[in-house]
Amino acid sequence: MMLSLLLAASLNAAVAQGNSHAQAVTDLVVSGSDEALVTEVSRQPDAARAAFSDYLQQSAMTEADRLARAYFTAWTDPFLLQEARRFRRWSLADRRMKLTADSLRLAGNEAYGYDGVPAAIALWRESLGYSERLTDQSGAAKSLGNIGAGFYTVGELDSARIQLTQAYELAIEAGDLRTAAGALTNLANIAYELGDMARAADRYAEASDLLARTGSYRFQSATQHNLALVSMSLGDLHGARIALEESIRLSRLHGFPDDEAEGLISLADIARAEGAYGEAAELLDRALDLSGETGNQGVMAGAWHSLGVLWTARGDYRKAERFLVLALESYARLGRLPDMVDARQDRARTLIAAGDMRGGLRQVQAAISLADSLAMGARRSADLVMTAADINLALNEYTLALDQFAQARTSYRAANDMAGQAAALEGLGYLSLVRGDAAEAHDALAQALRLQTSAGRPDPRAVALTRLSLAAAQQEMGDTATARQTLRLAGDGLSSVDDVVGQAAVVATLGELEMGAGRPWTADSLYRLGLELLGERTAPGVSWQLHAGLAETSASFGHLSEAAGELRRAIA
């Protein structure tokens, strides 16, 4: 899930972001009363700042002064008054230099969403050069903040931290609270990536306090978005949903469609985690519509990425693959390398689920190669190790998989990621199961289940799949009664999220229980039901078990030719 950068471009692109409302403020400046102007500025502070910047570019100083006074009256933020006074003192040549710097920075903001990070950073650096020659602290802070956000996007966290820290310090000296808050937001994003949730939450809160003094609805929305992601990492899906819904409301109300689309993508990820797959699909369709209207390729890629993960969870691996390839191609064009790492991992998981081990391995190797060139946070590094462990488990490389699951668990713990810790424990439990240690498997899986269910609203699919493995361990230990009960719970959970492949896996395990209890006719019916559930889906990890089960029941009925045919299908 992407952090809501809103680019520190974010806090600096008032002209680019506010034009949809700026005309109303402009009309009031020209013809309205001061009281009406203060009311409108209070209602639409982002648009007011956009109109102010327009006036400076037109050298319409009387209107700019009036608007700056109204903004100060509405929000007690003197920054626009200071900017108007500085602009008035400058020579004509200096004013032109200021406007050139602003134009280059805004062009970089535009390039970020459409041409990619390298093109944007080149424009921001050029803008920075003009601001430094002019000794314009606020302008330099804006460009530095955007450059830092760009470095963050491409995974250069140390460079990002340096640029963002300088941006924050310059912005505070200049009294530009919105730019300072933007730098803090992206510094918080870095802390989030590195797993320092307490520091991330503190910096988001500090940024929110600054923004509250400027009336910046857009960036209050961004802060709510980012706080939601912190809540998700801590397992609080309910708190995350509330924060995201507020973020989306603010973006929609004040006319920021790209930000609204980013919020919808993250809300869809929460809906998927809660098992509400239909809701997730609807949210992602709306996000694609919005990004299609604005032409923002980065947001569109994020929606495709989430759709790929969603369709993997729903068992339609072909559709998932199509969306993930689209996302990867778009990320590559835009230079968003960390997002490429994430998408390659998700594509690897999809290919593994579809039985393409070689393809999955190629994707993981490409992701690791790319990650080696980046400064990856603890969470992303743990995700990479987990994906590699899953593949090695599937390839029977048990010793390597054991080390990787243990390493991932340690990294997830360092990142305070409860869901990740549970997934690593589940991997360790399943590994113990296939190696024949049912008691050790049971302990690890039970611990994973406790972690998953300790959250306010746990991911029903993840819980159900852990129960499925736990039931297999209970069966191996001879506790068939408890295994049946655990399987019923797993089946209910998978049915609630419409995971057909998971339901078929439950049916396969129930068939094994019936066969072990000496009821081959019941087992045979279950195996056939499982294959009926799968239909045309490519899910070899489950379908081979169902065919092998049918071979066993057919042999018990004396139908040896039919049993041989089922075994050939299982082998294939």
Predicted pLDDT of residue 310: 93
Predicted pLDDT of residue 239: 81
Whether residue 493 is predicted with pLDDT greater than 70 in this model: the reply is yes
Model pLDDT for residues 233-283, shown as the tens digit of each residue: 766 778 888 888 988 998 888 788 988 999 999 999 988 877 788 899 999
131 vs 337, residue with greater confidence: 131
Whether residue 419 is predicted with pLDDT greater than 60 in this model: the reply is yes
Cβ–Cβ under 8 Å, residues 296 and 322: no
**3-state SS of 406-444?**
HHHHHHHHHCCCHHHHHHHHHHHHHHHHHCCCHHHHHHH
pLDDT above 70 covers a percentage of the chain that reads 90
Distances (CA, A) of 46 to 138, 245, 425: 17, 21, 47
Predicted pLDDT of residue 86: 87
pLDDT band at residue 499, thresholds of 50, 70 and 90? confident
Which of 20-29, 155-164, 375-384 is the least confident region? 20-29
Exposed (0-12), middle (13-18) or buried (19+): which is 364, by Cβ within 10 Å? buried
Predicted pLDDT of residue 7: 44
Model pLDDT for residues 442-479, shown as the tens digit of each residue: 999 999 999 888 765 667 888 888 898 898 899 888 89
Whether residue 143 is predicted with pLDDT greater than 90 in this model: the reply is yes
Q: What is the rounded average pLDDT for all residues in the chain?
A: 84
Which of 287-296, 343-352, 369-378 is the least confident region? 369-378
Cβ–Cβ under 8 Å, residues 348 and 387: yes
Predicted pLDDT of residue 201: 80
Instruction: Work out the number of other CB atoms within 10 angstroms of the CB of residue 572.
Output: 9
3-state DSSP helix/strand/coil percent for the chain, to nearest 5? 85, 0, 15
Model pLDDT for residues 238-247, shown as the tens digit of each residue: 888 888 898 8
Which of 4-8, 178-182, 208-212, 543-547 is the least confident region? 4-8
Residues ≥6 apart with Cβ < 8 Å to 110: 16
Q: Dump the DSSP string for 282-348.
A: HHHHHHHHHHHHHT-HHHHHHHHHHHHHHHHHTT-HHHHHHHHHHHHHHHHHHT-HHHHHHHHHHHH
Which of 300-304, 415-419, 447-451 is the least confident region? 415-419
Residue 161 CA from chain centroid, whole number: 21
Nearest to 181 by CA among 218, 154, 126, 131: 218
Q: What is the dihedral of CA 551, 555, 560, 563, to 10 degrees?
A: 0
Report the C-alpha gap between 528 and 98 in whole angstroms: 73
Residues ≥6 apart with Cβ < 8 Å to 130: 97, 98, 100, 101, 104, 139
Predicted pLDDT of residue 452: 84
Average the pLDDT over 170-177 and give the result: 93
- Tell me the three state secondary structure of residue 137: helix
Whether residue 21 is predicted with pLDDT greater than 60 in this model: the reply is no
**Residue with token string 């190696």:** 435
Report the C-alpha gap between 280 and 131 in whole angstroms: 44
pLDDT band at residue 5, thresholds of 50, 70 and 90? very low
Count how many Cα atoms sit within 13 Å of the Cα of residue 466 in the half-sphere of its side chain. Answer: 28
Cβ–Cβ under 8 Å, residues 124 and 147: yes
Report the C-alpha gap between 519 and 446 in whole angstroms: 29
58, amino acid identity = Q
Report the C-alpha gap between 151 and 82 in whole angstroms: 30
- Tell me the three state secondary structure of residue 154: coil
Output the pTM of the full model: 0.60
- For residue 54, the surrounding DSSP H or E stretch is helix 45-57
Predicted pLDDT of residue 281: 93
Report the C-alpha gap between 236 and 228 in whole angstroms: 9
Whether residue 20 is predicted with pLDDT greater than 60 in this model: the reply is no
Cβ–Cβ under 8 Å, residues 336 and 362: no
Report the C-alpha gap between 269 and 225 in whole angstroms: 13
Which of 39-43, 290-294, 381-385 is the least confident region? 39-43
Predicted pLDDT of residue 94: 92
Length of the chain: 572
62 vs 30, residue with greater confidence: 62
What does the buried/exposed string (b/e) look like for 304-327 if buried means 16 or more CB atoms within 10 Å of the residue's CB? bbbbbbbbbbbbbbebbbebbebb
Cβ–Cβ under 8 Å, residues 275 and 462: no
Exposed (0-12), middle (13-18) or buried (19+): which is 86, by Cβ within 10 Å? middle
Six-digit token pair at 153? 């996007």
Whether residue 113 is predicted with pLDDT greater than 80 in this model: the reply is no
Nearest to 531 by CA among 508, 558, 498: 508
Residues ≥6 apart with Cβ < 8 Å to 487: 467, 468, 471, 506, 509, 510, 513
DSSP code, position 456 = S
Average the pLDDT over 333-344 and give the result: 89
Predicted pLDDT of residue 16: 36
Average the pLDDT over 278-294 and give the result: 93
DSSP code, position 18 = H
Report the C-alpha gap between 344 and 331 in whole angstroms: 11
Q: What is the dihedral of CA 380, 108, 45, 200, to 10 degrees?
A: 20
192 vs 294, residue with greater confidence: 294
Model pLDDT for residues 185-244, shown as the tens digit of each residue: 899 888 887 777 778 888 888 888 887 777 676 777 877 887 787 777 766 778 888 888
Radius of gyration of the chain (CA): 28
Residue 360 CA from chain centroid, whole number: 21
Six-digit token pair at 210? 């600054």
Whether residue 87 is predicted with pLDDT greater than 50 in this model: the reply is yes
Q: What angle do CA 264, 269, 271 make, to 5 degrees?
A: 90
Predicted pLDDT of residue 267: 92
Which of 18-32, 63-77, 241-255, 446-460 is the least confident region? 18-32
Report the C-alpha gap between 448 and 465 in whole angstroms: 11
Predicted pLDDT of residue 12: 43
Average the pLDDT over 410-421 and give the result: 83
Whether residue 32 is predicted with pLDDT greater than 70 in this model: the reply is no
**Residue with token string 């969403």:** 113
Residues ≥6 apart with Cβ < 8 Å to 66: 29, 34, 37
